[in-house]
Copies of this chain bind each other. A is one copy, B any other.
Amino acid sequence: MAVRRKLSGPCTAWPEDSAFIREVLDRIGDKWTVLVISTLASGPLRYSDLHASVPGISQRMLTVTVKELERDGLVTRTAYPEVPPRVVYELTELGQSLREAVLALAGWAAGHHEAVAAHRAQHVLTGVGRAAAAGPR
């Protein structure tokens, strides 16, 4: 990697990377998908447990998220026709592989978020964005 692509022509478009990037970003870029996947990584969970294990998620979003994940083959949904309904969600191999990929991203954040935070703070102190002590409004 890092082939140091010679910046030759204008190149108005990228190879095909961007398409894949958008694809995966559309999948995990939302607010809850990766959280649900991460939670399911510990093992199968039923709806209510999953709901309790993802603090802050609404029933609606849990349902929507889990439904999309099932549609894409990232999780499996198993419903037991019992008196109190019981539905168990489990990560598939595919879902597991996605989680690993996402963890790599988390690894980047873990290794660089300090640098980002430092640079952000410095940026504020430097007053690049606004004139120093600019009045409100």
Contacts and interface: CB of A to CB of B under 8 A. Distances in A.
The A interface is mostly helix, strand or loop, or mixed, namely: helix
Interface residues of A, number: 61
A134 interface: no
Interface stretch (A58-66, A80-88, A92-100): A92-100
Contacts of A118: 73
Interface of A: 1-2, 5, 7, 10-14, 16-18, 20-25, 28-30, 34-35, 38-39, 41-43, 52-53, 55, 70-74, 94, 96-98, 100-110, 112-113, 115-116, 118-120, 123, 128-129
A93 to B, nearest CB: 9
A13 B113 CA distance: 21
